[in-house]
Chains A and B, each alone.
Chain A
């Protein structure tokens, strides 16, 4: 044996737990004896095997950017990943998360057998069961709900699912409409702003390689952003050609810190800055008159009128920025047109007024005429991954003909208008208040106790209470915050071990899609939830089983991709297995609104008020607009134009008793408007090396970021006598409008946390990252060295690094595993859409003695 190999020793003591063994997954609880590991296995390395590696093209899922990757495999073991150069979005590049995700496969604390709760819920006592028992238990429970006439009492709660094709089919087949998600915690205000304005997509696709000026309101695309890596790659190239980046963010993110200019507006004031910029551009006659006339539903005069109150001086007062900066940047931006783009993300949209903030920013693109232009605010061009492109296997179950207020809350009329964004932030509170009766709750890729506002309190309260959630099945990779409160834990397959039809907004502006495929077989009893659901569906009853005539998710995917033509002598499916991506040979989708409709498209069409409609199967659908006698595609809004004024928003607002004239406007959230000098605004953010909850257990990512002290501006810290490392107490207050509004400084909760004093944050803002401070997930997220005897999971492997080398473990003098800010952040859905206003929490901070 070579010396370097001495650590690669086969485990001699088999420690896999046996069927029926009772074990504890929380420390200090009563549990059966688990054999102590006496040897370690460390993994083979890529460096030693690079010559013999097998490349399996697939798609990363450590974040939602879904970059194409080759999984590098040797003898059934994944040794690493590399970018798939054929992927048009990521173009052969991967971020830290993509590489770090590899460790999730062989994470020694991974759950690889199904478990059934034997103690009280949340007590942590489990026994191993078989997958057969799982299928039967789930099927019987579902059958009971169907037979009882209440299929809606079966709830599916997904995070980053990506297999909606099968999970949606499953829910449709059993007749339940209650699918909850996390979009209202993520991006729903941004998506709604884009849908209402440009119509056919929730996500802009900036043409950053050709761009000269990027005006960034609250996106941290150097670290996160949905589609961040493809955008960053193109910006890096564009920057070499002179693209200027101006970022508005309350905190010095990597994006802000590497921008040509960084401005920190007061939280929620992004919209007033954008409206003032519009005003400045119009005052200086820098607008694109032709675009506004031809393609905007709002006239120049109307725009001038509604932006009039938003002077640069007023915006400066509200935002705290310099009036001269607002004017200068607006003019610079407009002069770069059409090779310029204004865009948004969490910094602008995760506010109570976020919908209008984002509408105001997006509007700037129309005013300067960069919409759809080369180097501008491009969009569209993606290949649809849904049934439209790849038909679902027949027979397709019908959608339930009813909804419930749990997944379709009437108070938020735009939450589900374009896509199902839901308002799941309210779900646990509604359940806790017994406004909805449910019986079976299936959770998947979601860690709500960790990631929900008031998650550690309200979410946990609901999950713990068997009278609220009688039966909880959780599919997960690790013993997560969610799994801890389950009745059955399903050992999920990682994204390296399963299929998905993938893709996102196409940064090359030509349609593409990708295929995630298993690079290795999932270990032990681990199974892709899709396959579990197929097996369960077959056992419920014949009415459900008839929609599941295929035996596996692989077969299901094969059927869906059977419509692909053969390419390079391979069937569509085989081509995808070999290449991982499918690119359609189409020119870049610039100015999609200008496209002339073909004769075929115009068949059976009629024109009314210049809008072109077709009627199919009794449904009338707008498909284009007449421009100077030519039928063009237009934008996919009701007016087929870029909608600055929105009747949709006006009507939606009025329907729930909110006054709204339909134009983008600015109104500071009441709590922030009335904030006192001594109070601060708590904001949250995400790191480049982490997603919300699923990267915490990945050792090489946790090594880089594992601690999240509270960012506080140096001048503010000085006033409060706070130094880096001091412990402080944060007291948060309920918002003064909206859900559970309180005018009386009602306290949400208090937390103590370490301070990080920095120049890189607005003086009246504090920031705490999400993703950290976990109570579960194994040794890595808990920053707790030790062997598996103390925290038994069920694989046969061990990683020496986790027994003594977690250097940030407090017991080794490290910082520990950080803090979860979510228990002090109030549930605060924004009006109409229901997006959680993450960045609006008013609080006070004091130093602890």
Chain B
């Protein structure tokens, strides 16, 4: 069994949004719902101002809370990926309420839970996930060998009990203000009025 692990290097990210649009196109996702979102944050005061980015998607948690709350047992973890079994999901939304960062939503049209699955359909045929494949700055990548994990990579946790498998480099803690535990990623994160520190 392969244990895939996503590494997100926010320091390398250029904020281009290609990962998000590639992801939405991959799955034909409805407007307003996101498997991956890139958060923007401006820090500092004029003239010393910086912009930071944070691509955020399901962290494929070990002992994931979404899995444990699902009344249908529709979520499972395989190859390091937390997967939704569409045939079992009833769209009750308990998983979405359980996620501390908001990385899982119920598709309002199909009524089925959707989240990042590291494009397992691509991995099966030897391809990279859509986001990784297109990333111009190689800010996203998969490792399957623990020894390849950069020492600066750490879990992005909203609460101490989170057990993210996906690891981040250079994630600003202030980004957490843009997330509401139990609510899917908000489309309003795209409004520039949300960029300020």
Contacts and interface: CB of A to CB of B under 8 A. Distances in A.
Does chain A bind chain B? yes
Interface of A: 2-4, 6-7, 42-48, 50-51, 79-83, 92-96, 98-100, 102-103, 222-223, 229, 232-233, 236, 252, 254, 256-258, 262-264, 688-689, 699-701, 703-705, 707, 709, 713-715, 724-725, 756, 758-761, 763, 800-801, 805-808, 815
Contacts of B46: 264, 713-715, 759-761, 763
Contact of B49 (A80, A83, A252, A806): A252
B64 to A, nearest CB: 21
Contacts of B16: 95-96, 222-223, 232, 254, 688
A4 B110 contact: yes
Nearest to B136: A93
B49 A262 contact: yes
Interface stretch (B92-100, B149-157, B186-194): B186-194
A81 B134 CA distance: 10
B190 A50 contact: no
B42 A257 contact: yes
A772 B109 CA distance: 28
Contact of B31 (A262, A699, A760): A699
Contacts of A701: 21
A46 B131 CA distance: 13
B133 interface: yes
Given A94-B134, A229-B136, A258-B14, A263 B112 contact: no
Contacts of A92: 133
Nearest to B195: A758
18 contacts: A3-B86, A4-B112, A50-B122, A50-B127, A79-B25, A92-B133, A93-B135, A95-B136, A233-B136, A233-B137, A236-B12, A258-B51, A264-B47, A700-B31, A701-B21, A760-B42, A805-B31, A807-B32
Contacts of B30: 800-801, 805
A229 B193 CA distance: 26
B57 to A, nearest CB: 15
B18 interface: yes
A297 to B, nearest CB: 37
Which 5 A-B residue pairs are closest in the complex by CB-CB distance? A257-B51, A236-B137, A96-B17, A805-B31, A99-B21
Contacts of A758: 42, 195-196
A725 B14 CA distance: 27
Contacts of A256: 51
Interface string B19-54: 011101111101110000000001011110111100
B119 interface: yes
Interface residues of B, number: 51
Given A3-B112, A50-B122, A94-B18, 15 more contacts: A46-B28, A50-B125, A95-B16, A96-B22, A99-B18, A99-B24, A257-B15, A705-B190, A707-B192, A714-B45, A758-B196, A759-B45, A759-B46, A801-B31, A805-B30
Given A96-B21, A99-B134, A222-B16, A703 B110 contact: no
A756 B25 contact: no
B138 interface: yes
Interface string B108-150: 1111100000010110010100100111111000000000000
Interface of B: 12, 14-18, 20-22, 24-28, 30-32, 42, 44-47, 49-52, 86, 108-112, 119, 121-122, 125, 127, 130, 133-138, 187, 190-193, 195-196
A704 B21 contact: yes
A interface majority secondary structure: mixed
B28 to A, nearest CB: 4
Contacts of A264: 46-47
Q: Which of A47, A81, A700 has the most CB of B within 10 A?
A: A47
Given A96-B20, A800-B30, A236 B136 contact: yes
Given A3-B110, A759-B49, A99 B22 contact: yes
A805 B32 contact: yes
Contact of B121 (A50, A93, A703): A50
Contact of B193 (A94, A95, A222, A756): A756
Contacts of B110: 3-4, 6-7
Contact of A102 (B18, B25, B49): B25
Contacts of B45: 714, 759
Nearest to A805: B31
B42 A252 contact: yes
Contacts of A705: 190
A806 B32 CA distance: 7
A46 B29 CA distance: 11
Contacts of A688: 15-17
A222 B121 CA distance: 30
Contact of B18 (A47, A98, A808): A98
Contacts of A801: 30-31
Nearest to A4: B110
B34 to A, nearest CB: 9
A704 B29 CA distance: 14
A704 B133 contact: no
Contact of A703 (B12, B26, B187): B187
Contacts of A93: 18, 134-136
Given A4-B110, A806-B31, A704 B42 contact: no
Nearest to A713: B46
A254 B134 CA distance: 18
A264 to B, nearest CB: 6
A263 B46 CA distance: 10
